[in-house]
Amino acid sequence: MDVNFDLMKSAFPLLIAGAGITVEITALSVFFGMLIGIIVALVRMSDFKILRWLGNVYVDFIRGTPLLIQIFLVYFALPSIIGHRVDAFFAAISACSINSGAYVAEVFRGGIQSIDVGQMEAGRSLGMTWWQTMRYIILPQAFKRIIPPLGNEFIAMLKDSSLVSVIGFEELTRRGQLIIARTYASFEIWMAVAIIYLILTFTVARLTGLLERKFDTK
């Protein structure tokens, strides 16, 4: 078969703009996901039974259902409850953030629980509160250990954010679909899209590695 490189080249600027939006959704979702995740992780380790139960239900529900269905729930099902339609950008960010939060909560929990219990005991025995000990002693040590799994979460979200194309949100995958609808050049465009995803995920993996080494030297 003939590969039309000119077409690939001319499609790149449009696709790069879409990639920018993909990065934006991913960054926002992982950021909000981290906020949700740290709260849920702490709640799930707390003494409040009801909160702990709610945290468990949240994590189990999100991890046990497909992200695609979660996007549908926010975009199609939520409007019928709240009575007006939901903006695609809002739906994309909130579905991805809520999804990411559940995975990040597990990452945080693993990181916190990997810290020796003697650290908490030492902090508490000095008269510090549970929260002060978390804040100054446990979390700073846990953060260092969760950089690699957080990097993985970021990479997973970069790829999974392609699912928001189904609600018409114009990120990288949706841009590809639209160009193909016009040019019928599915091989060239999907290859170009794949290469851009690969560059994005590879870059994040390298950045994670650098960050890891930076924190390793204290």
Partner 1 sequence: MKERQDIIKITGLQKSFGDLHVLKGIDLYIKEKEVVVIIGPSGSGKSTLLRCINYLEEPSGGEIVFDNIPLNGEANINEVRKEVGMVFQRFNLFPHMTVMENLILAPMKVRKTSRKEAEELAMTYLKKVGLAEKANNYPDQLSGGQQQRVAIARALCMKPKAMLFDEPTSALDPEMINEVLEVMKQLAKEGMTMVVVTHEMGFAKEVGDRVLFVDGGYIVEEGTPEQVFDQPRNPRTQSFLSKIL
- Give the footprint of partner 1 on this chain (CB under 8 A): 116, 118-119, 121-129, 132, 136-137, 140-141, 144, 218
Q: Which is nearer to partner 1, 53 or 136 (CB)?
A: 136
**DSSP letter, residue 212:** H
State how far the alpha carbon of 5 is from the alpha carbons of 17, 104, 182, 196, in Å. Answer: 19, 40, 16, 15
Q: Which is nearer to partner 1, 76 or 136 (CB)?
A: 136
- Smallest distance from partner 1 to CB 95, Å: 36
**Closest by CA position to 101, among listed 150, 148, 161:** 150
- Smallest distance from partner 1 to CB 119, Å: 6
Structure tokens at 69: 């269905």
Say how many C-beta atoms besides its own lie within 10 A of residue 47's C-beta: 7
Q: Which is nearer to partner 1, 87 or 121 (CB)?
A: 121
- Smallest distance from partner 1 to CB 130, Å: 9
Asked if residue 68 lies in contact with residue 147, where contact means CB atoms within 8 angstroms, the answer is no
- Smallest distance from partner 1 to CB 143, Å: 9
Q: What angle do CA 200, 205, 171 make, to 5 degrees?
A: 25
Q: Which is nearer to partner 1, 51 or 178 (CB)?
A: 51
